[in-house]
Amino acid sequence: MKFKEVLQGKAIARYVRVSPLKVRRVLNQINGRSYSDSLIILKFMPYKVCPLILKVLKSAFFNVNISQNLNISESSFYVSEARVDEAPFLKRFCPHAQGRGFPIKKRMSHIISVI
């Protein structure tokens, strides 16, 4: 009895200068969909983070093809995992009344995509 080989590609974009909340609302739309459907969704969504996610998704797809040396169609792959983790944030201070400093957190993300 032969087991079917599972082709899997993974790509990570680290320290992307976008808040994880903004990335998560886009990743929830493509999680579990086919690769070709998720490409179409990302091309037409109006968010700033979509080109970054598209880049990571394409990288994961090409990692599958390079590692296996196969030419497989895009429609046979699914986005099995698309998630975002919080990266360290940059701390900045904005001056406020009576000499106080108001902290500003400039958040960053780690975008992880598995096909």
Amino acid letter for position 48: K
What pLDDT, on the 0 to 100 scale, is given for residue 74? 79
- Beta carbons of 112 and 80 less than 8 angstroms apart: no
The predicted model scores a pTM of 0.86
- Structural domains of the chain, ranges and CATH numbers in brackets: 10-114 (3.90.470.10)
The continuous run of DSSP H or E covering 59 comes out as helix 50-68
Mean per-residue pLDDT pooled into runs of 10, the chain (115 residues): 68 96 96 94 95 95 75 83 96 94 96 94
Q: Which of 46, 52, 50 is nearest to 11 (CA)?
A: 52
